[in-house]
Structure 1
Amino acid sequence: MSVRAVVTGIGVVAPSGVGVDAHWRTVVDGTRRTGPITLFDPAGYPTRVAGEVSGFDPSAYADARQLVQTDRWTHLGLAATKLALADAGLPERAPDPYGWAVTLASSSGGNLFGQRELQRLWGGASRTVGAYQSIAWFYAASVGQLSIHHQFKGPCGVLVAESAGGLDSLAHAVRTVRRGTPVVLAGATECPLSPYALACQLRSGLLSDVSDPEAAYRPFDRSAGGYVPAEGGAVFVVEELGHALARGARVYGEVTGWGATHDAVHTGPDGAGDPGRYARAMRLALDRSGVGADEVDVVLPDALGVPRYDRAEAEALRAVFGDRPPPVSTHKPLTGRAHQGGSALDVATALLAFRHDTLPASAGPRRPAPGCELDFLRTPRQPRSRLALVCARGFDGFNSALVLRGAPPAPRGAAE
Structure 2
Amino acid sequence: MSTSVVVTGLGVVAPNGLGTKDFWDAVRVGKSGIGPVSRFDASQYPAKLAGEVVGFAPEEHLPSRLLPQTDRVTRLSLVAAEWALRDAGVDPSDFDEFDMGVITASSSGGFEFSQNELKNLWSRGSQYVSAYQSFAWFYAVNSGQISIRHGMKGPSGVVVTDQAGGLDAVAHARRAIRRGTPLIVAGAVDASLCPWGWVGLQTSGRLSTGDEPSTAYLPFDERASGHVAGEGGAILIMESAEGALARGARVYGEVAGYAATFDGAEPGLRRAIELALADAGVRPEQVGVVFADAAALPGLDRAEAEAITAVFGPHGVPVTAPKTMTGRLYSGAGPLDLATVFLAMAEGLIPPTINVEAAGRHRLDLVVAARTATVDTALVLGRGHGGFNSALVVRSA
TM-score scaled by length of structure 1: 0.92
Counterpart CA distance in 1 for 2:188 and 2:103 is 9
Shift, 1:198, TM fit: 0.9
Distance 1:380 1:39, change over 3 A: closer
Question: 1:299 corresponds to which residue?
Answer: 290
Secondary structure of 2:350's partner?
coil
Distance 1:86 1:371, change over 3 A: same
Secondary structure of 2:319's partner?
coil
Q: Which is further off, 390-399 or 125-134?
A: 125-134
Counterpart CA distance in 2 for 1:209 and 1:323 is 31
Q: Letter of the aligned partner of 1:374 in structure 2?
A: L
Question: 2:107 corresponds to which residue?
Answer: 107
**Percent identity between the aligned chains?**
48
Does residue 1:286 correspond to 2:277, yes or no? yes
CA distances 1:318-374 after superposition (whole Å, capped 9, x unpaired): 1221224300011111111110101111111101111112222332422x2364231
Q: Letter of the aligned partner of 1:344 in structure 2?
A: P
Does residue 1:387 correspond to 2:377, yes or no? yes
Question: 2:395 corresponds to which residue?
Answer: 405
Aligned residues: 397
Map 1:244-255 → 2, pairs under 5 A: 244-255=244-255
Counterpart CA distance in 2 for 1:280 and 1:259 is 9
Map 1:262-281 → 2, pairs under 5 A: 262-263=262-263, 273-281=264-272
Secondary structure of 2:352's partner?
coil
Shift, 1:382, TM fit: 4.2
Question: 1:373 corresponds to which residue?
Answer: 363
Counterpart CA distance in 2 for 1:251 and 1:14 is 22
Question: 2:260 corresponds to which residue?
Answer: 260
Counterpart CA distance in 1 for 2:224 and 2:320 is 16
Does residue 1:339 correspond to 2:330, yes or no? yes
- 2:28–2:349 Cα contact (<8 Å) kept: no
- 1:314–1:371 Cα contact (<8 Å) kept: no
Counterpart CA distance in 2 for 1:2 and 1:304 is 34
Question: 1:76 corresponds to which residue?
Answer: 76
Question: 1:267 corresponds to which residue?
Answer: none
Counterpart CA distance in 1 for 2:197 and 2:352 is 32
Question: 1:23 corresponds to which residue?
Answer: 23
Secondary structure of 1:328's partner?
strand
Does residue 1:328 correspond to 2:308, yes or no? no
Q: Which is further off, 376-385 or 186-195?
A: 376-385
Secondary structure of 2:229's partner?
coil
Counterpart CA distance in 2 for 1:250 and 1:282 is 28
Q: Letter of the aligned partner of 2:376 in structure 1?
A: R
CA distances 1:19-51 after superposition (whole Å, capped 9, x unpaired): 111111111110111111111111211111101
Counterpart CA distance in 1 for 2:187 and 2:216 is 27
Q: Letter of the aligned partner of 2:158 in structure 1?
A: V
Q: Letter of the aligned partner of 1:175 in structure 2?
A: R
Does residue 1:87 correspond to 2:87, yes or no? yes
Distance 1:217 1:127, change over 3 A: farther
Counterpart CA distance in 2 for 1:155 and 1:361 is 37
Counterpart CA distance in 2 for 1:242 and 1:227 is 41
Question: 2:188 corresponds to which residue?
Answer: 188
Q: Letter of the aligned partner of 1:274 in structure 2?
A: A
Counterpart CA distance in 1 for 2:87 and 2:175 is 23
CA distances 1:117-150 after superposition (whole Å, capped 9, x unpaired): 1111222245752211121101100100111110
Shift, 1:61, TM fit: 2.4
Structure 2 unaligned segments of length 5 or more: list them. Answer: none
Q: Which is further off, 88-97 or 110-119?
A: 88-97
Question: 2:167 corresponds to which residue?
Answer: 167
Counterpart CA distance in 2 for 1:85 and 1:285 is 28
Q: CA RMSD in A?
A: 1.4
Counterpart CA distance in 2 for 1:92 and 1:231 is 28
Shift, 1:95, TM fit: 3.0
Q: Which is further off, 393-402 or 40-49?
A: 40-49
Secondary structure of 1:211's partner?
coil
Q: Which is further off, 127-136 or 240-249?
A: 127-136
Shift, 1:383, TM fit: 3.8
